[in-house]
Copies of this chain bind each other. A is one copy, B any other.
């Protein structure tokens, strides 16, 4: 069973610890690759092209939009951000399980193109834990906190579109669980039609007097 990688989209509430989980997953296990975003914003000190981002000009970015080279893209405060399809597919073909941390609207766009993407939504153990994280250390204004809570309500609307939820209560345990969820998908029969057919044809050949 030579196996293609699985594209896993990871979303979740702001402040729930998605980034830490993804980094921990990369450290604890081999076989994962992070999707690298493209952007037209300026490179900041310490950032490396093709590591942190694929940095490109507005013209380059827009020409790639026209050529359908993005799984999704968006424009935030005058800069483009997007997920280049080619890099993701290259990693998948190498057998890497590719991780894409992205918010829900982007996730739905990617799923339309990559129909066998696996969607995981990271949850807090309770709303109270989420609230404590959003409220922070009491130094935020009511306005900021209300905005964060509204954002969380919005984020919560689409959870049922995800295949799995992952409760982030203990970093290492949740990371292992994230790994298990992704890893067992390699055994989904929908990802093994080729292997199933080979076995089936081989048995038929035996039966015909091999």
Contacts and interface: CB of A to CB of B under 8 A. Distances in A.
Count identical subunits in the complex.
2
Nearest to A148: B207
Interface stretch (A71-79, A92-100, A183-191): A183-191
A124 interface: yes
Majority DSSP secondary structure for residues of A touching B: helix
Given A156-B199, A156-B200, A199-B124, A149 B206 contact: yes
A82 to B, nearest CB: 27
A56 interface: no
Interface string A163-177: 111110000000001
Contact-residue bracket for chain A? 35 or more
Interface in A115-134: 121, 123-124, 126-128, 130-131
A66 interface: no
